[in-house]
Amino acid sequence: MLIWSILLVLSSVVSLVQSQNGVLEQSFWPSAVPLAVRSPYFSCWLLTTEGRNLLAQWPRFWNYASSGSGDPFLTWQGLAKVDGTTYQWLGDWSDRPTPGINRVNLTGFRVTPTSTVFEMLAGPMSINVTFLTPIEPSDWVSQSIPFSYVSLEAASIDGSKHDFKVYADITAEWVSGNRSANVAWNTTVGNSVIYHEIFLSSPSQFEEIFGQADDGTMYHAVLNGLDVSYQTGLDEDCRGQFQNNSVLTNKQDTNFGNITGSSNSPVFAFAMDLGSISSTSAPVVWTLGYVRDPAIQYVTSSGQVQLRSPYFVTQYSSMADVISDFLINYTTTSQRAQALDSKIQQDALNISSEYADLVSLAARQVFGSIDITISKGSDGQWNTSDIMIFMKDMGNTRRINPVEVLYQAFPIFLYLNSSFGRPLLAPLLEYEDSSQFSLPYAAADLGNGYPVALGNNSGHSQGIEQSGNMLIMTLAHARASGDGYLIDRYYDLLKGWAKYLVNNTLEPTASQQSADQENVADSSNLAVKGIIGIQAMAEMSKAMGENDDETYFSQQVMTLIGEWESLALSSDQQHLLLDYGDESSWALVYNLYADRLLGTNLVNSSVCESHFEI
């Protein structure tokens, strides 16, 4: 049964999107929709505040609640000219209104796991704009490339041909949260691609400001062709050039300055002249990317500081090659994305249409929270056997591989490619198996300073929660993938956590906190997670041929689960209590899910059926 945690979903079900003239529909109205969500520091969204025109605002970095001297905007402008009339299909010029710019009429949108699609009218032309951020679960080189597409297709609605030109630009706001920082840029015109490259004059490695990294390079690129023109310069100059002349100057402005000027800002623009058409013969495609190398600073089990690079560097020697391949492969990448969308949505629709929409929002958010990394060996060559994946606690903190968040996201990795489990869990297990770690229970994370993974040996109040999570995920990964490496390598560490649970899980004290930050003594929900974690250890002991351990943990589980049911069930046997003995309380015992995931069937089926629609 496909069940993904919705705790990661950035959504708020506030109203239905009404169908008008057969346009695309959503079953609910989300709080924000993803545009380009590819990595922790390349995460661009549109807010959907009720009554807001989606395409009449600037997109925003995920940390849109930032304050102080920073602002959340990631300025991204889209224009189209139809028979000489200019329409804006993305962006907000309300701060500096420009005569002659018309708004498109947004007629519908939909969100799939990999894409956000907008349908609109611009005079006599219908326009579809697709923001595609591929999810490539079987190709980690491609998945680790921090780039995203935007494509545009148009068709006449009156049967006539129309002169059609399109334009897009971005600003340097994508490079840093410090809007007063100095930036520089360069435009490269190659045989196959043209790309703008934007970077800070004085980057700060592994630092972030208002959630944005301060050490990356932003790219804006298109395939080269006779219909393409480019320009860098002040926003009013570039946009005005397109509006007045329909073509850009193919010139670079090298008057470098701040990200945001006092009156206007530098932009990095492309325009395409499609001529007189009744429809586009192929999508117009731009790509954006934000690259950081090194991506992670990791402290190994021996205490050495290791700089880890994004995994795609193992296959590419230059960014020009990355950009070229990414753009050239748009058609096949789009086809794979559509096939993946169809598979995910059909599986989710077997539950409900609302669930399918939640899953569609969650997918890019989960994959946009990770960096797939690799290290170099002592010989200076890439160590392709050393792949580690790091997850940021998106939207909350800078925590690295936060265990309860990873646990909530884990089903999507198991569903799409269970091999993700090993490199996601390995950084945690490696650190906790070292002399740097001394706690009797699992760590909560690898530190609170993403992207610097120093490890975390601090005591915390989620000993049962995190130990249960780690045991459950380790077994789930091994079961789904057939890869027992983590169990074999870290058996004694896992066994120690299981013993901790034996001694602490049945009657959690008020000092034990759950994933939803509840501190409830005798929590039925928290207790059952620990019991399932012990059973996971019994299963791992069996797999390893550790018969005495298997017998011990299995016997403990049988005793504990019997006592749990007698304590957790209400006196009328009709519902589970939030805390033992409180007959007025009710519990949503979501931790029963792990029993189903692992197939351990510890909990009586009648208890499960009262909490889940199986």
Query: How does pLDDT run across 452-468, given as a tens digit for each residue?
Result: 999 999 999 999 999 99
pLDDT band at 93 (very low <50, low <70, confident <90, very high): low
| Percent above pLDDT 70 for the chain | 90
| CATH class (in words) of the domain with range 35-296 | mainly beta
* 405 to 9, 359, 395, 409, 445: CA distances (angstroms): 12, 16, 11, 6, 10
Residue 497 pLDDT: 98
What is the arithmetic mean of pLDDT over 258-269? Answer: 82
**What is the residue extent of each domain of the chain?**
35-296, 392-609
CA atoms within 13 A on the CB side of 132: 28
Residue 4 pLDDT: 36
What is the arithmetic mean of pLDDT over 319-346? Answer: 97
Per-position b or e across 272-298, b if 16+ CB within 10 A of its CB: bbbeeeeebeebbbbbbbbbbbbbbbb
Residue 100 pLDDT: 75
Q: Of the given ranges (251-265, 331-345, 406-420), which has the lowest mean pLDDT? A: 251-265
At 208-236, the pLDDT tens digits run 998 999 999 999 999 999 899 999 999 99
Residue 261 pLDDT: 66
Locate tokens 């500081």: which residue?
305
Instruction: Say yes or no to pLDDT of 563 above 90.
Output: yes
At 365-401, the pLDDT tens digits run 999 999 999 999 889 999 999 999 999 998 789 999 9
| Percent above pLDDT 90 for the chain | 79
pLDDT band at 2 (very low <50, low <70, confident <90, very high): very low
Residue 3 pLDDT: 34
C-alpha 111/C-alpha 94 separation (Å) is 27
The domain 392-609: what is its CATH number?
1.50.10.10
Residue 172 pLDDT: 96
What is the arithmetic mean of pLDDT over 155-179? Answer: 96
C-alpha 553/C-alpha 540 separation (Å) is 10
At 273-304, the pLDDT tens digits run 999 999 999 999 999 999 999 999 999 988 89
Locate tokens 């925003």: which residue?
60
At 529-553, the pLDDT tens digits run 999 999 999 999 999 999 999 999 9
C-alpha 5/C-alpha 108 separation (Å) is 27
Instruction: Say yes or no to pLDDT of 1 above 60.
Output: no
At 6-58, the pLDDT tens digits run 333 333 333 333 333 333 455 566 788 999 999 999 999 998 865 556 778 89
What does the block give as tokens for 238?
């570039």
pLDDT band at 166 (very low <50, low <70, confident <90, very high): very high
What is the arithmetic mean of pLDDT over 166-171? Answer: 98
Residue 321 pLDDT: 97
State the chain's mean pLDDT as an integer: 90
Residue 262 pLDDT: 53
Q: Strand, helix or coil at 298?
A: strand
Residue 357 pLDDT: 87
Is there a contact between 527 and 564 (Cβ–Cβ < 8 Å)?
A: yes
Residue 247 CA to its chain's centroid (Å):
36
pLDDT band at 609 (very low <50, low <70, confident <90, very high): low
pLDDT band at 574 (very low <50, low <70, confident <90, very high): confident
